[in-house]
Structure 1
Amino acid sequence: MKKMIVPFVAVALLGPAIGMAASGHDDHGSHGGMHMEATQSALIDGIVKKVDKAGGKLTVSHGALPNGMPPMTMAFLVKDASWLGKVKEGQKIRFASENIDGAMTIVRLEPQN
């Protein structure tokens, strides 16, 4: 019986020590983020319903978005305010949008003829 107690005590004492030694490797907070190029968002067909230059928004009737949003008409912020002068109500566009700080924002815009 004494011969069995020594291995059990060793395992009981060393088990937590091994876990604590390994736990020092789980924090990588001091590493900088890995630089990755932005992926190209899929372009969606839409029709401009309203241009709001003062608010920096385009209201667009669009098909389903890659993020699962169904087809609808909604207002989007635009990444580049100069785009508001390049489109007009009723014009067809192709665009990509992303959720930036909680607001759906057009990040790429291609006016169509």
Structure 2
Amino acid sequence: MKNVFALIAVSCALAISASAYAAGDTGNMDMSSSSAKPAGENAAMSHGEIRKVDAAAGKLTIKAGPIENLGMEAMTMVFKVKDPAMISQVKVGDKIDFVAEEVNGVATVTKLQKP
């Protein structure tokens, strides 16, 4: 019986130490995306197509090309809009140029125009 408990204890210790080793020391790592660039006035416009308009929530679903300033590849994603007036400018199927930024941890369209 002692051997069983010893075996369990050693197995647990090995599993925990393996997990700790795999996690490594991340205290000095820069977790920000190295490919992301600052947004703002100099942010390049991204191109997309409106897939859904949710006026009540102030959100647009956009099938977007790469969003370089956020380091994102092409994808379809839901974005909040900075200005609720943007919602009335578009409808499903519209092609748009836009700037998206991270605002309070949320992907937000800060500038929008039709080409």
Q: Which residue of 1 aligns with 2:92?
A: 89
Report the residue type matching 2:53 in the other structure: V
With normalisation by structure 2, the TM-score equals: 0.62
Deviation at 1:68, TM superposition (A): 1.4
Cα deviation 1:38-89 (Å, max 9, x = unaligned): 4321101100000000010000000111121110000000011011011000
The RMSD of aligned alpha carbons is 1.0
Give 1 or 2 for the bigger CA radius of gyration.
Answer: 1
Runs of at least 4 residues off by over 2 Å: none
Alignment map for 1:1-113 (pairs within 5 Å): 38-66=40-68, 67-112=70-115
Measured in 2, the distance between the counterparts of 1:39 and 1:60 equals: 21
Which amino acid in the other structure matches residue 42 of structure 2? Q
SS at match of 1:85: helix
For structure 2, the 5+ residue unaligned runs are 1-39
The residue aligned with 2:34 is none
| 2: CA distance, partners of 1:111 / 1:57 | 17
Matched residue type, 1:40? N
- CA distance in 1 between counterparts of 2:82 and 2:66 reads 20
What code does the residue aligned with 2:97 have?
Answer: R
Whose helix proportion is higher, 1 or 2?
A: 2
TM-score, length basis structure 1:
0.64
Q: How many matched pairs?
A: 75
